[in-house]
Structure 1
């Protein structure tokens, strides 16, 4: 009893000198990181604000439409609005016989000096050179437009000669009726290509207008095909295999 009484003041003094430590947490939680501010530019924010009502109306009118189907529909319509008018204009110009006159008119308008050309004349010249190259490529590949059909070896040799004959980096060369070989179907193909290129704004407008309807049809047909496939798989799994005897 005397030992316990003598040790009591010593323990009391020891507890006063030793500071108490806070208990350590079992799990160290990470400090919350401050959220970064939005990095969208004012142009992107205004674009999103402009697209929001359009997408809302689009989803209300076509509930099955999603962005991937819209993109696929736009690409399909954009290609169709190029191929269908190209074939139709080629047949019409061939029947009327005015393809050579259209190309000759464009050549005359774009044959001025470089400094005197306006923007649309330079663009028309680029389209004319591009149309001639495409018509020649298709004609030599399939034997159309008066060109003989080439083999793979002949095509590679011709490309090598054209590459060697090309001087510098001047891709926009002077155009003349002789160089373009404006006669018959070549002129009709070049004129059709020029007109289709000129109709590009109208083609984009038509594609944007018809894309939701086509996307809705694509999504509905895809879902119906998927449901049929699931039913077919379930029916196949339900049939028991025949025992071989």
Structure 2
């Protein structure tokens, strides 16, 4: 009979240990695999949405549609969704400016490494109300990736692939490192 575990996290730890024993994968390797895959599933949609928006030329129209103000006096059934979308688009503008200045992409000039870039408002980086080109595509990609709609799929995919990723990628890497380290000792 397994020892009784106490505490708030005990059920989760027991479930993780069961997955670890069923997949014959160390728990630490499973956790690291999940973390890596979770980040990869965030970067992959970001890049793919950017290039799809760029290919089809929809970034500018989508961002401007999401950011447009609702006229007063007209009922807006999607007020919450539009407000959330505007928030993600504003965050996306700041992110695009920060990344654009850092790497010299999206039409922004590359800024030297030590200098700080103020990205508090759209006026700071010259895109007052109208976003165009790659900036709009980057903002749309950020907004789609940031949305909570993708989160359950990302978590599910990361959980599903973690044991295989651990066995195929992390375990061979761990064995290689251990064998090289034991030779030096």
TM-score (norm. length: structure 1): 0.58
Note closer, same or farther for the CA distance 1:228–1:146 as it changes in structure 2 (3 Å cut): closer
1:194 paired residue number: 143
TM-superposed deviation, 1:81: 0.9
Task: Give the Cα separation in 1 of the matches to 2:156 and 2:92.
Answer: 23
Q: In the alignment, is residue 207 of structure 1 matched against residue 168 of structure 2?
A: no
Structure 1 position 149, deviation (Å)? 2.2
Counterpart residue number, 1:184 = 133
8 Å contact from structure 2 (residues 102, 113) kept in 1: no
Q: 1:226 to 1:187 in 2, by over 3 A?
A: same
Q: Residues 229 and 150 (structure 1 numbering): CA distance in 2 closer, same or farther, change over 3 Å? A: closer
Aligned length: 170
What are structure 1's unaligned runs of at least 5 residues? 1-37, 167-172, 235-245
Alignment check: 8 A CA contact 1:65 1:216 kept: no
Output the TM-score relative to the length of structure 2: 0.74
Q: Which residue of 2 aligns with 1:52?
A: 14
* Partner of residue 78, structure 1: 38
Structure 1 residue aligned with 2:99: 138
Structure number with larger C-alpha Rg:
1
Q: Residue 120 of structure 1 aligns with which residue?
A: 81
CA distance 1:59–1:96, shift in 2 (3 Å): same
Alpha-carbon RMSD = 3.1
Deviations 1:11-51 (A, max 9, x none): xxxxxxxxxxxxxxxxxxxxxxxxxxx984xxx3xx63466
Any idea what the Cα deviations from partners look like across 1:172-194, whole Å, max 9, x if unmatched? x9xxxx62541110111011111
| Compared CA separation, residues 121 and 139, structure 1 to 2 (3 A) | same
State the Cα distance separating 1:52 from its structure 2 match: 3.1
- Return 5+ residue gaps in structure 2 as ranges: none
- Structure 1 residue 222: deviation in Å? 0.9
User: What is the alpha-carbon distance in structure 2 between the residues aligned to residue 140 and residue 105 of structure 1?
Assistant: 26
Change (3 A) 1:71 1:49: closer
1:222 to 162, 174, 177: 174
Q: Distance in 1 between matches of 2:100 and 2:166?
A: 35
**Native 8 Å contact 1:103 1:190 kept in 2:** yes
Would you say 1:148 and 2:109 are equivalent positions? yes
What is the deviation of 1:78? 1.3
**Corresponding residue to 1:90 among 39, 50, 65:** 50
1:204, distance to aligned residue in structure 2 (A): 1.6
Change (3 A) 1:60 1:112: farther
